[in-house]
Structure 1
Amino acid sequence: MLPCPESDDVAVRQDALRREMKARLRADLRKAMKDRCNIETKVIRVLVAAIDNAEAPSVEAGDTASVHHDFLSGLAEVERPLLSRSRVRHILSTEVQERERAAAELERLEEMDRAEALRAEALIARRYIE
């Protein structure tokens, strides 16, 4: 079966969008660190890590084999799965929702300061959901 050029184009566009989002996050992270904005730095680091974790290749259960490769040989490199734009949005939305749920629970427990801090984090994360 021949590969469909249209699906290749979609994959290339999706990869470009994913790379653009990660570049934006990393640029904003550098700025937040430079400006010493600790909350923003923390949130952006979590968002980058969430995307990186989703891109990690899956490991088969029970696959504990280890193979030695020369340093910088490139032989141990594994292709990361490409995330669609909707998958990246879902990951970011999940981060926002987790903070909002935790904030609601903290409000119920009358921990207003902690709830407010989580809502501020959710607002920062929400900026990246286009």
Structure 2
Amino acid sequence: MFDKSLDEKMLLSNGYDEIVDLTIEQYCISCVDKNIDVVTALDVLEHLPRSKFFDVIDQMLYHCKFMIIIWPVNHPQNAGTNFLDSHRSSVKPREVFQSFEVISFMQTGFSEYSIFHIYNLCVLRGHMCIDQKQPLF
């Protein structure tokens, strides 16, 4: 969560159309009557308990054509001053492949403080994608 009084004006002036201040569970519920082209979850899902990692993907895929997810590989992270910052799950790519229809996958990485971080990037086909041969773009 962020401090709306400080951040909303800055975010809206930098290209954001809307600020949604909800938990991911509340957001999934708010999408029940919406059809969405692309959902992104970039460096988010690992902050959820393992069971919710898959539940959130499943809920979002039900309402979209495609979903792009990015999550780190074996990257423990403690909470520090905010308990929401901690990584609560580590999911292997094969678990995502076994659970969802993966269209594209790659691993990439970067170095920070002499540590090499590896990230998974995955594009999933959602349930709203009627044409199974529909191109991504």
Band the TM-score falls in, shorter-chain normalisation: under 0.3
TM superposition score normalised by structure 1: 0.24
Q: Which structure would you say has the larger RCO, counting Cα contacts within 8 Å and 6 or more residues apart?
A: 1
Query: Which protein has the larger Cα radius of gyration, Structure 1 or Structure 2?
Result: 1
TM superposition score normalised by structure 2: 0.23
Structure with greater proportional helix content: 1
